[in-house]
């Protein structure tokens, strides 16, 4: 595989990881916290409904989890393509 093809494969995988992370983040923060809140109102979490929990805490926790996932996955991807930190 040439350097150009390897770089293209690296960035294609990187962009795919970013897009999936953004989709998950949008679904959790905007979808569960705002759009789907009426459907989630019957489920109680910590004394409040699940939609309110996602709007106040859930989206932040998912965002933090996505940051750690992205860092872990990019380290793995960097190692696979030989561009990792020494």
Q: What is the pLDDT of residues 57-70, one digit of tens each?
A: 888 999 999 999 99
For 82-86, which contacts have Cβ atoms below 8 Å and span 24 or more sequence positions?
Answer: 83/10
pLDDT band (50, 70, 90) for residue 2 = confident
> Which pLDDT tens digit goes with each residue over 68-83?
999 999 999 999 988 8
Residue spans of the domains in the chain: they are: 3-80
Q: What is the pLDDT of residues 3-54, one digit of tens each?
A: 888 889 999 999 999 999 999 999 988 888 888 888 888 888 888 888 888 8
Q: Is the pLDDT of residue 1 over 80?
A: no
Angstrom distance (rounded) from CA 37 to CA 81: 42
Instruction: Supply the pLDDT for residue 86.
Output: 65
Flag whether the pTM goes above 0.75: yes
């Amino acid at each position: 595989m040439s350097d150009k093809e390897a770089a293209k494969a690296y960035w294609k995988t990187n962009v795919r990881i970013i897009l999936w992370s953004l989709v998950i983040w949008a679904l959790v923060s905007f979808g569960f916290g705002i759009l789907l809140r009426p459907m989630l109102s019957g489920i109680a979490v910590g004394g409040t409904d699940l939609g309110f929990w996602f709007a106040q805490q859930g989206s932040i926790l998912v965002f933090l989890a996505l940051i750690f996932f992205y860092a872990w996955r990019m380290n793995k991807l960097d190692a696979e393509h030989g561009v990792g930190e020494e």
